[in-house]
């Protein structure tokens, strides 16, 4: 009986090792070709924990099988470090000019309930550049565009607004605010009905920095979807489970495919950029994803480079995942980064200070 249990655990270990290897491929295989790999990238933190568990189990059992999971963790240490960041070396500015950047999906100011809170937070952080996603207003309310901009104009005289959705009920899109002059404003062209990426050329001191503000394709799992699933959770049958799983995977698969195309479109503009570059915003994808790795190629993630532990920016519907990012190119050194745990939106704001390299 003990041998049977041992063999069963070995088989389970091998299966999880195979899933782990496939999850590693999620970062490099285009999601619009093999979308199912993206789902493994989403659960990559759980697969890492499983491998650590197998290592501990086999060491305690005094069996050499621990080498399988340990080897996987060692070989993929860079991917593991993007999820569970280890202690880091502090960087020093060495007298170089610095830029403080804030990125925040504000979810229409928390449905307008947290307008004052979010405006106060933006002013308090005193960032040089502020990139907001799901920025906008409802047409039937007192929170107009003029009121929003009046609160920010004194601190941020320069702005780049792009309303992807201009509907009868509300307007929303992305917005970049800056203390420094914006000399060029452009939109990245890619397919999407609701989402958008823009870039702003900002003159900071003697340099021009191109800042990309992204709100990539959403998974479109609405609060109505989640509430319907929660209401039926206590009396689900097998047909219900298949129906729910199919509905969710269909929505997420479509979003994964679109994000892959969008990420390549942004990356093409980045590759042709003549200036130093910062890419930030709501990628709607985790670090172990094709979208993230397409945009992060040649860039440094400010959070991963300066923080330790498990970092997450989305905190709704029982999910705690890192989908909001600040990436800086080789011309910058990240000095500090922080994820501010304030519940004004379903996302947490991310703020980073980067220094111009000599």
DSSP 169-221: SEEEEEEEEESS-EEEEEE-----SS-EEEEEEEEETTEEEEEEEEEPPP---
pLDDT at 220 exceeding the cut of 80: no
Paired residues of 333 in beta bridges = 355
Mean pLDDT for the stretch of residues 188-192: 94
pLDDT attached to residue 93: 65
- Tokens standing for 234? 């206590």
Mean pLDDT for the stretch of residues 258-283: 97
| Among the listed residues 135, 134, 128, 136, the one whose alpha carbon sits nearest the alpha carbon of residue 102 | 128
pLDDT at 238 exceeding the cut of 70: no
pLDDT at 222 exceeding the cut of 80: no
- Tokens standing for 266? 């942004």
pLDDT at 87 exceeding the cut of 90: no
The span from the CA of 297 to the CA of 132, in Å, is: 23
Mean pLDDT for the stretch of residues 67-82: 96
3-state class (DSSP) for residue 328: strand
- 260 CA to centre of own chain: 14
pLDDT at 270 exceeding the cut of 90: yes
Q: What angle do CA 179, 185, 188 make, to 5 degrees?
A: 125
pLDDT at 23 exceeding the cut of 80: yes
pTM: 0.91
| Among the listed residues 327, 332, 323, the one whose alpha carbon sits nearest the alpha carbon of residue 83 | 323
3-state class (DSSP) for residue 264: helix
pLDDT attached to residue 178: 98
195-199, 203-207, 217-221: which range is least confident on average? 217-221
135-139, 153-157, 268-272, 292-296: which range is least confident on average? 135-139
Distances (CA, A) of 221 to 185, 197, 218, 227: 31, 21, 8, 10
Of the pLDDT bands very low, low, confident and very high (cuts 50, 70, 90), residue 26 is very high
Mean pLDDT for the stretch of residues 249-253: 87
pLDDT attached to residue 89: 64
* Residue 333 near residue 303 (C-beta atoms within 8 A): no
44-58, 117-131, 163-177, 281-295: which range is least confident on average? 163-177
């Amino acid at each position: 009986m003990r041998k049977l249990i041992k063999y069963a655990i070995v088989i389970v270990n091998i299966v999880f090792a195979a899933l782990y290897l496939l999850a590693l491929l999620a970062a490099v295989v285009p999601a619009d070709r093999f979308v199912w790999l993206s789902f493994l990238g989403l659960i990559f933190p759980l697969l890492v924990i499983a491998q650590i568990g197998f290592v501990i189990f086999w060491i305690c059992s005094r069996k050499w099988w621990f080498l399988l999971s340990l080897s996987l963790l060692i070989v993929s240490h860079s991917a593991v470090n993007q999820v569970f960041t280890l202690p880091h070396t502090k960087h020093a500015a060495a007298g170089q000019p610095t830029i403080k950047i804030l990125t925040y999906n504000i979810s229409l100011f928390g449905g307008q309930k947290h307008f004052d809170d979010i405006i106060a937070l933006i002013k308090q952080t005193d960032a040089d550049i502020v990139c907001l996603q799901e920025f906008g207003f409802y047409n039937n309310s007192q929170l107009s565009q003029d009121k929003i901009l009046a609160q920010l104009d004194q601190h941020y005289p320069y702005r780049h607004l792009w309303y992807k959705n201009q509907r009868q009920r509300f307007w929303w899109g992305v917005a970049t605010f800056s203390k420094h002059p914006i000399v060029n404003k452009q939109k990245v062209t890619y397919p999407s009905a609701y989402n958008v990426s823009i870039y702003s050329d900002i003159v900071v001191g003697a340099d021009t920095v191109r800042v990309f503000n992204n709100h990539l394709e959403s998974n479109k799992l609405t609060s109505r979807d989640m509430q319907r699933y929660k209401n039926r959770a206590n009396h689900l049958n097998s047909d219900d489970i298949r129906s729910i799983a199919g509905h969710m995977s269909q929505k997420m698969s479509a979003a994964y495919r679109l994000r892959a195309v969008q990420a390549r479109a942004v990356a093409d503009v980045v590759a042709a950029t003549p200036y130093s570059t910062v890419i930030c915003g709501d990628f709607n994808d985790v670090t172990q994803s094709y979208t993230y790795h397409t945009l992060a190629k040649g860039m440094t993630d400010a959070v991963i480079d300066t923080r330790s532990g498990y970092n997450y920016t989305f905190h709704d519907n029982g999910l705690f995942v890192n989908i909001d990012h600040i990436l800086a190119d080789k011309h910058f050194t990240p000095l500090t980064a922080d994820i501010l745990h304030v519940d004004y939106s379903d996302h947490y704001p991310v703020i980073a200070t980067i220094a111009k390299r000599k």
